[in-house]
Amino acid sequence: MSDGVVVDGQGLSEVERVVDTFIAPSKTFTDILRSAKWWLPFVLLVLVTLGTTVVVDKQVGFDRVAENQIRQNPKQEEKMASLTPEQRAAQMHGITVGYRYSSYGAFIFILIFVAIGALLYWASFNFGLGAQTTYGQMFAVWMYASLPRLLTGILTIVTLMFGSNADAYDMRNPVGTNPAYFMPDAGPVLRTILSFFDVIGLWQLALLIIGTAIVAKVSKGKAAAVVVGWWLFGLIISVGIAVATS
């Protein structure tokens, strides 16, 4: 028994795991040592993502989503301005369709992102720190640590349903959980940096530290070094992309 969870016994139900992720995360992550199932958080993420997409489609429209995203990218906006009306219409149609289909199929990107993140963590802990965790356990940790992202989707739905300005909607930063949301006129690089200091994202980061420390059986300090290290790497790559495209 560890932290009140029976590792080799019946353990927690999937619903208890989800609830405990928010109120007692150590219990959820300790239970992953017993079973690395992750289907319920994935189902919840899919449902909220699809719900958010439907609301965006109805309340904003993906043509407006595409216009808003182009307006935030100086190079792309300049390129679009140089096209003939017919060429611009064709380009906008393609971009709009791309945003629509990628949004409705976002669950695929969730799986790919978690799969890559779990692989990086598994390799970092097992080969870098000599841990004995499994890839499946890291995958489950990622899925449960992603549950706070449900709040972003729910807040997006609520704000769009109750008076949010469609002309200002940013699909990459839909709600005010980070400083970038409140600085729409800032440059792309600054917005990228500020968007990483997101309340929900930092909450997820903390859960990843707790979860990886438990399943890898290392100290939270070592877990934080790995998790924050990869977070900083992602920040640097994102800033680089922002510099190249702005």
* Residue 129 φ/ψ, nearest 5 degrees: -115, 0
Q: Would you place residue 9 in the very low, low, confident or very high pLDDT band (cuts 50, 70, 90)? A: low
CA distance linking residue 158 with residue 15, whole number of Å: 24
Closest CA to 55 of 135, 140, 138, 174: 174
Residue 41 is predicted with a pLDDT of 97
Interval 123-141: pLDDT, tens: 999 999 999 999 999 999 9
Positive or negative, the CA dihedral 123, 127, 131, 133 is positive
**Going by C-beta distance under 8 Å and a sequence separation of 6 or more, which residues neighbour residue 168?**
68, 184
Residue 5 is predicted with a pLDDT of 43
In 51-143, at which residue ranges do the beta strands (DSSP E only) sit? none
Average pLDDT, stretch 178-189? 89
CA distance linking residue 152 with residue 74, whole number of Å: 27
Residue 72 is predicted with a pLDDT of 80
Residue 108 is predicted with a pLDDT of 93
CA distance linking residue 236 with residue 111, whole number of Å: 23
**Going by C-beta distance under 8 Å and a sequence separation of 6 or more, which residues neighbour residue 205?**
227, 228, 231
Please check the confidence at residue 246 and state whether its pLDDT lies above 60.
yes
* Residue 15 φ/ψ, nearest 5 degrees: -65, -40
**Going by C-beta distance under 8 Å and a sequence separation of 6 or more, which residues neighbour residue 239?**
189, 192, 193
CA distance linking residue 159 with residue 153, whole number of Å: 10
Positive or negative, the CA dihedral 72, 74, 76, 82 is positive
Please check the confidence at residue 177 and state whether its pLDDT lies above 90.
yes
Residue 75 is predicted with a pLDDT of 79
Interval 13-32: pLDDT, tens: 999 999 999 999 999 999 99
Please compute Rg for the chain using Cα positions: 20
213: which 2 tokens? 């420390």
Q: Which residues pair with 2 in a beta bridge?
A: 5
pLDDT greater at residue 4 or residue 36: 36
CA atoms within 13 A on the CB side of 15: 0
pLDDT greater at residue 35 or residue 185: 35
Interval 86-102: pLDDT, tens: 888 898 999 999 999 99
Residue 1 is predicted with a pLDDT of 39
Please check the confidence at residue 197 and state whether its pLDDT lies above 50.
yes
Average pLDDT of the residues of the chain: 91
Please check the confidence at residue 109 and state whether its pLDDT lies above 50.
yes
Interval 49-77: pLDDT, tens: 999 999 999 999 999 999 988 888 777 88
Positive or negative, the CA dihedral 168, 169, 175, 178 is negative
- Tell me the pTM: 0.90
Closest CA to 33 of 56, 67, 57, 9: 9
